[in-house]
Amino acid sequence: MFGFDDSLDLPVAEMAQRVRDKDNPLTASKLVETSLLRIETLDAAYGAFLRRTGDLAREQAAAVDAKAEAGEDPGPLAGVPLAVKDNLAVPGVPLTCGSKILGEYIPPTWATSVKRAVDAGACIVGKTNLDEFAMGSSTENSAFGPTRNPHGTAFVPGGSSGGSAAAVASGMAPLALGSDTGGSIRQPAALCGITGMKPTYGRVSRNGLVAFASSLDQVGPMARSCADARALLEAIEGVDPLDATTRGYDTAAQNGVDLGSLRIGRVTEFALDDVPGGEPAQAAVERVRSALFETGATDAELSLPLVQASIPVYYLVAPAEASSNLARYDGVRYGHRAEGGADLMDLYARTREEGFGEEVKRRILIGTFALSAGYADAYYKKAMATRAALRAQFDSAFAECDVIVSATTPTCAFKIGEKADDPLAMYLCDVLTVAANLAGLPAVSVPCGKTAEGLPLGIQVWGPPGRDGLVFDVAEQLEAMDGCGYEAPEVTS
Amino acid sequence: MSAGAVLVGMEVHLQLKTKTKCFSASPYHYGADPNTLTDPTVMGLPGALPVLNHEAVRLAVRTGLALGCRIADVTKWDRKNYFYPDLPKGYQISQYDQPLCIEGAIEIDDDEGNPKTVRITRAHLEEDTGKSTHDEGGDKSRVDLNRAGAPLLEIVSEPDIASAGEAVRYLEALREIVAYIGTSDGNMQEGNLRCEPNINLVFENGDKTPIVEVKNLNSVRNVGRAIEYEIVRQQKAYDDDNQTMENTPRSTRGWDDDREVTVHQRYKESADDYRYFPEPDLPPLEIDPAFVETERGALPELPRARRKRYCDDKGLSAYDAEVITSDPAVSHWFEAVLAGDPARDAKKVVNWMTGELLRHLNDKKIHLDEVGLTPEGLGEIVDLEAARTINTRTAKELFREVIESGASPAALVEERGLSQVSDRGPVEAAVKAAMEAQAQAVEDYRAGNEKARGRVFGAVMKELKGRGDPKLVNEVLTELLG
């Protein structure tokens, strides 16, 4: 691809196996240099990376190669270049969250998920762009400029993990870590034509992930295939003593479900018939469903009425938690501090006025309002009650079906700037993804063809809590269908 | 105008004695250099998460049980949101509507000395804030986050306290309880016990003065003074300006230690809006009833109950009971002496402890756990003396010897033959010998000089090397002197 050394385009397991095999000439250092060269060459067009970490990657690669040389196992991700969303902490590397407010902040400790990937042999090639504090669906809200979609640079890559999605889609890195609070892994994965997975809430540690909405945030893998994504998930998952919300889950793939007789849930409320521009996505859903039925799967028609409330519920719960999580950025201990504050309140106000972007301010205000005395009952508490009821509806739904299949996004990628002034239109991008966060479910988006303009579409597989392996198994079937799966973009720059 | 009845409710923040903080592994102790006891969670660094310290829960449950509280089956954590530089995350992790400990009581004496119950509404666990200091006249403020995240138990009472004296006794009782159960140092100077009384007056016609919360109180004595001051101030504001709850909002006042007055700080126009919501980083906590029962079983006898038992069952005076229970270490030592033999004379043990033992501790400036003498050792001395195996003089000599060495007094008595001579034969022989040696004194005595008897007695004791049973010596002497 692109005339580069193509060992970086191998499936991750094979790539790592060659690095682990001391008799194979492929080394971690070679993979890292290839990745860094691709970033050097391509990223001017995409703006996927906020920071390249060449020195760190080379150091990590050298350590992997030394282990392999010494006959030790450098791990299942040996030498695989990894792009890390810039809301995950890597010690010694500036952490921005796509915001000015963090200033020159350098974290002292690892995000558990990143550390586990590195311990499995992955090498960090850079920190990727995102909507500020992961708030957005287009990566246009980054204080450091937008990222462009590798399938068409006039288009957004989706968001908020748009930098990670573009890095993987363009082949700059075979694996990336993202975070998903309302669809921030799955939606950009769909728009960039790659696989992105939001694990069951509590499967992956949030330690070192800069909090947006703590009860919804989950770190997850982004890759060119389900197998690659699963390899990254298996490296990062598991109970973490530093995150009290982590839980141990059985990683067994199928959990006893016969893939040939799966009951495939179709949620009435996810139909896109009335959505302008929703036809291609709806057609893709129908196509994969028909193909699944041919293998013996059955159709389970379901209605989850509260899914229709998921956007308003999400846009109360997430901003409420965010308004509290972002209170620490006050200019007192670290990050940006405004000059010339007359007193403490003025220092706070100026620092936050200067440091936060418009969308972040909007959500802090919404969240503060939703939690305020006199309004909390009508907004936050009502949203939480609805969330609990939505969870119960999903519990019932998963008694009727094994997985749910839907589109990941109502439409393909939109043009940069197209929705930038219309927050509500932007919020609706999440209509097919937020329910998984509200209910804590695992869900994976796999590429499933393109629109007439050549922009990718994604199909989403949802499972019950803890059945991440099942979700991957079904997604792998979809991925193998005609017209589905990863396709490298034409180089558009 | 009539004098209003006083209503005081107490909010106490008690720092629990854990090794590490409430929600992180950062150590905590008093008096370290600023900002040396921190970690990413304490500093509120991006991405750092709280993890519950279960020892803080255990100490909170232990304290709650000692205060007679019910322990919740399920409790949860909430965020209390406000901005301040010593609150690094911009919120405090606390418990809003499901406190860990519910409905307890502290027994105190009222101003007439009669027993009185002050009801406790709730006690919940939360994290402490850091400490801000502001330069005197300067423009710098400094923040020390050492204290941030230390576990606090906030104990809220009903407004059952009716005077400054009761408030002082409430705090003393609470401090004594936590000292006994070892859950907190309860030291107001070091800030591990902080209290904010809520004070107002209620009049016979139903009028109430606006509630005032007093802050900046750093000693129990000042709590009493602040309440005294508020009673007078509120009565005057009612008498002169008819100030009542209806026309004046609640307020916060600060104690000015130099001028010994409370100073208005701010009105609480409406309830402060802390935007409480459930802490999403911490799952709700289920409390195992078996754990609660284990903790209940591990509680020691509390000081008030212990004093009552000493007076009722052990025949101690109220004063002696108070003295011997005022320090938990002394009290537990005393208990250990009595435990060796429940028949031991408690009054005698108190006398030894408040006399010889405390004198020794004061002279040497050491603590009880630094002496060689064991509770069993003192018990042996008391027993030997009670059985008249040794006399008082020997007892005191023995005490001075074993206080350092820790040797067994009974063994020493055996080994050195120190037991008192209380057989009639040798005593009679000694008396006869002394009468011969002190013939003049015998003559003087018989001639009516009472004092001469002492010379003969001294000679008898000398014959017996100081170990004669004085009672028996006197008996024989009386017989033979005629």
The one-letter code for the residue type at A166 is: A
Helix axes B439-446, B424-437, angle to 10 degrees: 90
* pLDDT tens digits, one per residue of A453-486: 999 999 999 999 999 999 999 999 999 999 999 9
Query: Which residues of chain B lie closer than 8 angstroms to A109, CB-CB?
Result: 40, 45, 48
Q: Pick the last residue of a domain from B236, B262, B286.
A: B286
**Min Cα separation A105/chain B (Å):** 10
Interface check A212 vs B, CB under 8 A: no
For A102, which residue in chain B has the nearest alpha carbon? B46
Within this chain, do residues B347 and B230 fall inside the same structural domain, yes or no?
no
**Min Cα separation A413/chain B (Å):** 30
For B83, which residue in chain A has the nearest alpha carbon? A327
Listed in order, the ranges of chain A carrying CATH 3.90.1300.10 are 6-236, 259-312+378-479
**Min Cα separation B76/chain A (Å):** 13
State how far the Cα of B320 lies from the Cα of B331, in Å rounded to an integer: 11
Within this chain, do residues B407 and B271 fall inside the same structural domain, yes or no?
no
Find the CB nearest A324 among B43, B48, B91: B91
Within this chain, do residues B248 and B126 fall inside the same structural domain, yes or no?
yes
Cross-chain residue pair A206–B43, CB shorter than 8 Å: no
The reply to whether B408 falls in a domain is yes
Within this chain, do residues B242 and B308 fall inside the same structural domain, yes or no?
no
The one-letter code for the residue type at A144 is: F
The reply to whether B247 falls in a domain is yes
Reported residue count of chain A is 493
Q: What is the pLDDT of residue A484?
A: 96
Tokens 């009049």 correspond to what residue?
Answer: B203
For A96, which residue in chain B has the nearest alpha carbon? B46
Percentage of chain A beyond pLDDT 70 is: 97
Within this chain, do residues B258 and B305 fall inside the same structural domain, yes or no?
no
Within this chain, do residues B125 and B260 fall inside the same structural domain, yes or no?
yes
* pLDDT tens digits, one per residue of B113-132: 999 999 999 999 999 999 99
Q: What is the pLDDT of residue A255?
A: 56
Query: Which residues of chain B lie closer than 8 angstroms to A87, CB-CB?
Result: 47
Cross-chain residue pair A214–B271, CB shorter than 8 Å: no
Backbone angles phi, psi at B111, to 5 degrees: -65, -20
SS3 B236: helix
The reply to whether B295 falls in a domain is no
Cross-chain residue pair B46–A89, CB shorter than 8 Å: yes
Q: What is the pLDDT of residue B270?
A: 64
Average pLDDT on A87-112 reads: 98
CB under 8 Å to A374, separation ≥6 — which residues? none
State how far the Cα of A401 lies from the Cα of B276, in Å rounded to an integer: 38
Q: What is the number of domains present in chain B?
A: 3
Q: Pick the last residue of a domain from B398, B416, B434.
A: B416
Within this chain, do residues B258 and B350 fall inside the same structural domain, yes or no?
no
Closest CA to A433 of A410, A414, A415: A410
Reported residue count of chain B is 482
Assign residue B453 the CATH number of its domain.
Answer: 1.10.10
Mean per-residue pLDDT over chain A, rounded: 95
**Min Cα separation B228/chain A (Å):** 35
Residue B16 pairs in a beta bridge with: none
The pLDDT of residue A160 is above 90 = yes
Could you tell me if A295 and A286 are in contact, meaning their C-beta atoms sit under 8 angstroms apart?
Answer: no
Token output for A241: 């003593």
Average pLDDT on A82-104 reads: 98
State how far the Cα of B72 lies from the Cα of A303, in Å rounded to an integer: 39
For A213, which residue in chain B has the nearest alpha carbon? B280
Task: For Cα atoms B143, B146, B152, give the angle at the middle one, nearest 5 degrees.
Answer: 110
Most confident of A256-260, B188-192, B235-239: B235-239
Query: Which residues of chain B lie closer than 8 angstroms to A373, CB-CB?
Result: 270-271, 273, 275
Class of the CATH domain delimited by A6-236: alpha beta
Q: What is the pLDDT of residue B469?
A: 81
Query: Which residues of chain A lie closer than 8 angstroms to B85, CB-CB?
Result: 330, 332, 344
Cα-based distances in Å from A389 to A267, A379, A384: 16, 15, 9
Cα-based distances in Å from B461 to B272, B395, B427, B442, B472: 81, 16, 9, 16, 11
Token output for A476: 């792998």
For A205, which residue in chain B has the nearest alpha carbon? B49
Within this chain, do residues B372 and B463 fall inside the same structural domain, yes or no?
no
Interface check A211 vs B, CB under 8 A: yes
Could you tell me if A437 and A218 are in contact, meaning their C-beta atoms sit under 8 angstroms apart?
Answer: yes
pLDDT band, residue A251 (cuts 50/70/90): low
Within this chain, do residues B308 and B227 fall inside the same structural domain, yes or no?
no
pLDDT band, residue A186 (cuts 50/70/90): very high
State how far the Cα of A170 lies from the Cα of A69, in Å rounded to an integer: 31
Q: What is the pLDDT of residue A316?
A: 97
* pLDDT tens digits, one per residue of A305-338: 999 999 999 999 999 999 999 999 999 999 999 9
The pLDDT of residue A492 is above 50 = no
Could you tell me if A137 and A426 are in contact, meaning their C-beta atoms sit under 8 angstroms apart?
Answer: yes
Q: What is the pLDDT of residue A256?
A: 59
Predicted ipTM beyond 0.85: yes
Contact map slice: A 216-245 vs B, CB within 8 A: 241-245
Could you tell me if B179 and B28 are in contact, meaning their C-beta atoms sit under 8 angstroms apart?
Answer: no
Closest CA to B382 of B339, B411, B346: B346
**Min Cα separation A95/chain B (Å):** 9
Q: What is the DSSP letter of A490?
A: P
**Min Cα separation A245/chain B (Å):** 6
The pLDDT of residue B407 is above 90 = no
Percentage of chain B beyond pLDDT 70 is: 99
The pLDDT of residue B167 is above 70 = yes
pLDDT band, residue A253 (cuts 50/70/90): low
* pLDDT tens digits, one per residue of B307-349: 999 999 999 999 999 999 988 889 999 999 998 888 889 999 9
For A321, which residue in chain B has the nearest alpha carbon? B280
Average pLDDT on B371-393 reads: 87
Cross-chain residue pair B46–A333, CB shorter than 8 Å: no
Average pLDDT on B245-273 reads: 90
State how far the Cα of A367 lies from the Cα of A371, in Å rounded to an integer: 6
In angstroms and rounded to an integer, the radius of gyration of the C-alpha atoms of chain A is 21
Q: What is the DSSP letter of A381?
A: I
Dihedral over Cα of B460, B464, B465, B468: its sign: negative
The reply to whether B476 falls in a domain is yes
The reply to whether B88 falls in a domain is yes
Find the CB nearest A107 among B45, B81, B281: B45
Token output for A250: 């059985």
The pLDDT of residue B271 is above 70 = no
Token output for B423: 């057989």
Find the CB nearest A214 among B52, B271, B280: B280
Cα-based distances in Å from B228 to B217, B224, B261, B262, B380: 13, 6, 10, 10, 50
Residue in A324, A348, A387 to test binding to B, most B beta-carbons within 10 Å = A324
Least confident of A178-187, A239-248, A269-278, B458-467: B458-467
Find the CB nearest B52 among A210, A244, A327: A244
Could you tell me if B110 and B76 are in contact, meaning their C-beta atoms sit under 8 angstroms apart?
Answer: no
Q: Which domain holds residue B392?
A: 301-416
Token output for B465: 């090397």
Closest CA to B324 of B347, B342, B356, B301: B347
Q: Pick the last residue of a domain from B367, B387, B416.
A: B416
CB under 8 Å to A232, separation ≥6 — which residues? A12, A77, A82, A117, A122, A175, A177, A221, A223
Q: What is the 3-state secondary structure (H, E, C) of A72-123?
A: CCCCCCCCCEEEEECCECCCCCCCCCCCCCCCCCCCCCCCHHHHHHHHCCCE
The CATH topology of domain A259-312+378-479 is Amidase signature (AS) enzymes (3.90.1300)
H or E element: which one contains B368? none
The pLDDT of residue A103 is above 50 = yes
Within this chain, do residues B257 and B405 fall inside the same structural domain, yes or no?
no
Could you tell me if B468 and B388 are in contact, meaning their C-beta atoms sit under 8 angstroms apart?
Answer: no
More confident residue, A115 or B398: A115
The pLDDT of residue B298 is above 70 = yes
Could you tell me if B8 and B197 are in contact, meaning their C-beta atoms sit under 8 angstroms apart?
Answer: yes
Q: Using omega within 30 degrees of 0 as the cis cutoff, is the peptide bond preceding A160 cis?
A: yes
Could you tell me if A465 and A493 are in contact, meaning their C-beta atoms sit under 8 angstroms apart?
Answer: no
Closest CA to B281 of B42, B45, B51: B51
**Min Cα separation B225/chain A (Å):** 33
Average pLDDT on B7-24 reads: 97
Find the CB nearest B283 among A245, A321, A326: A245
Query: Which residues of chain B lie closer than 8 angstroms to A213, CB-CB?
Result: 280
Mean per-residue pLDDT over chain B, rounded: 92
State how far the Cα of A361 lies from the Cα of A349, in Å rounded to an integer: 12
Backbone angles phi, psi at A143, to 5 degrees: -70, -10
Within this chain, do residues B172 and B211 fall inside the same structural domain, yes or no?
yes
The reply to whether B291 falls in a domain is no
Residue in B38, B94, B281 to test binding to A, most A beta-carbons within 10 Å = B281
Residues of B near A (Cβ–Cβ under 8 Å) read 40, 43-52, 79, 81, 83, 85, 88-91, 141, 143, 270-271, 273, 275-277, 280-283
CB pairs under 8 A between A and B: 101
Closest CA to A404 of A268, A230, A281: A268
Query: Which residues of chain B lie closer than 8 angstroms to A380, CB-CB?
Result: 277
Just list the catalytic residues of A: 85, 160, 184
The pLDDT of residue A252 is above 60 = no
Find the CB nearest A242 among B51, B79, B90: B51
Cross-chain residue pair B46–A368, CB shorter than 8 Å: no
State how far the Cα of B92 lies from the Cα of B110, in Å rounded to an integer: 36
**Min Cα separation B159/chain A (Å):** 26
CB under 8 Å to A210, separation ≥6 — which residues? A87, A88, A89, A95, A97, A133, A134, B46, B47
Cross-chain residue pair A344–B81, CB shorter than 8 Å: no
Cross-chain residue pair B45–A376, CB shorter than 8 Å: no
First and final C-alpha spacing in chain A? 15
Within this chain, do residues B368 and B281 fall inside the same structural domain, yes or no?
no
Q: What is the pLDDT of residue B449?
A: 87
State how far the Cα of B201 lies from the Cα of B352, in Å rounded to an integer: 48
Backbone angles phi, psi at B133, to 5 degrees: -125, 145
Residue in A130, A209, A330 to test binding to B, most B beta-carbons within 10 Å = A330
Residue B402 pairs in a beta bridge with: none
Query: Which residues of chain A lie closer than 8 angstroms to B141, CB-CB?
Result: 344
Query: Based on the number of CB atoms within 10 Å of its own CB, is A147 exposed (0-12), middle (13-18) or buried (19 or more)?
Result: buried
